[in-house]
Structure 1
Amino acid sequence: MAVDSLWHYQFRIVTLGDSTVGKSSLLKRYAEGVFLDSMNQTVGVDFYVHFVELEPNLRIKLQFWDTAGQERFRSVTRSYYRNSAGGVLVFDLTNRASFENIRNWHREVIETVAPQPVVFILIGHKSDLESERKVGQKEAEKLATSLSARYIETSAKTNRNVKEAFQILTSGIYESLKSGSMRPSEHWDGIKSKLPPIIQPNMQPEERIKNCQC
């Protein structure tokens, strides 16, 4: 059986942030287990896939869309927002401007996908460059709270918190699925399922009366 068929849910996730903050390095470390000191800037959108077992016998396929941070690609990358269940907001801890632009990236996604919800995580990247830090942890945590997101600091170079960051996001999407705030749909590619719905809609009292055979 092909590996790609061995999943129960597929979550589509988009990565967002300024150019050179390390979005591609993070995904390459997580999905392929490697770190490259220098990577070419993403042109348009790149694609990564990773499989996780979130719970025993519950296999999730994570489909990552790695978007370019340059303005000239924005019209291309926006088209990938609408079909995303998760958003990875990445800034460079040594680059103050990349942190200040996070609200813009978040707002752009929200305005594109509304009213469809998106689960976000805020990542402060390049934590190995502590001596060059320009953004404090408490300040970043405050921003994350205002965006209804979790915050974590990572380093693709040292592999610090890389797995943990994507675990948090995956769990957040799954919780939204279980709560019913997100649902698989043939008209939306954010979540695909090979299982029956986790939450069955409750039948309203008037529907029960209408359907009664007594």
Structure 2
Amino acid sequence: MAAGPYNYSYIFKYIIIGDMGVGKSCLLHQFTEKKFMADCPHTIGVEFGTRIIEVSGQKIKLQIWDTAGQERFRAVTRSYYRGAAGALMVYDITRRSTYNHLSSWLTDARNLTNPNTVIFLIGNKSDLEAQRDVTYEEAKQFAEENGLLFLEASAKTGDHVEEAFLDTAKKIYQNIQDGSLDLNAAESGVQHKPAAPRSNQLNTDQQPGKEGCAC
């Protein structure tokens, strides 16, 4: 069952955006490491994580860029929006200010990514129900009005974290299948790397020089 280092068919680029302290880095860590970082330091600039998932029988490598939420880093992090296939836009359900700023984050995402970028709204810290400051219903309405996917999640417990990342990938893959996402476009955020036939898997695994995009 050992998989080769390049045993995947697609690479999807994700970005995680939102205010400082909403738990972006914790969501990334929970998804890639299955762990919760209780004292997660604020991101300076950007951080990076990867994980290989499976959608409709296809192995997909997610390259996830976690951006800093502070205003002073916005000029730096905006450059990472380009070529993102998926954007996870995060707010904290216990801090209304982080929800009120979503329109600004969404404007950046719409302006700096391609029209087919899948934007997923995540209300983080769902484990802190007693401190809730933003209702599920109003966030869901905001998502529907803006054509966003939406879930509440908890980076601490792991609740719905997996679903947010996977559902984004499923939507991107659906866009590839129905032809609305052009893989030849530089800004698509997707690289297609056809997996080698199983009979040749050993040979392929022994040739690390084959990593490049095969589109």
Q: CA RMSD in A?
A: 1.6
Long gaps (5+) in structure 1: 197-214
Moved over 3 A (4+): 1-4
Tell me the TM-score normalised to structure 1 length.
Answer: 0.86
Aligned to 2:50: 49
Q: Please give the alpha-carbon distance, in whole angstroms, between the structure 2 residues aligned to 1:32 and 1:88.
A: 18
Larger Rg: 1
**Cα offset, 1:26, TM superposition:** 0.4
Question: Against the structure 1 CA distance between its residues 41 and 54, is the aligned structure 2 distance closer, same or farther, given a 3 Å change threshold?
Answer: same
1:42-191 → structure 2 map (5 Å cutoff): 42-56=43-57, 58-114=58-114, 116-185=115-184, 187-188=186-187, 190-191=189-190
Deviation at 1:3, TM superposition (A): 4.3
How many residues in Structure 1 have an aligned counterpart in Structure 2? Answer: 194
- Letter aligned with residue 102 of structure 1: L
Secondary structure of 1:5's counterpart equals coil
Q: TM-score, with normalisation over the residues of structure 2?
A: 0.86
Q: Which runs of 5+ in 2 are unaligned?
A: 196-215
Query: Quick one: distance in 2 between partners of 1:189 and 1:173?
Result: 10
Give 1:2 deviation, angstroms.
7.4
Counterpart in the other structure of 2:37: 36
Is the partner of 2:13 in helix, strand or coil? Answer: strand
Q: Distance in 1 between matches of 2:108 and 2:74?
A: 10
Distance apart, 1:185 and its partner CA: 2.5
Describe the SS at the equivalent of 2:150. Answer: strand
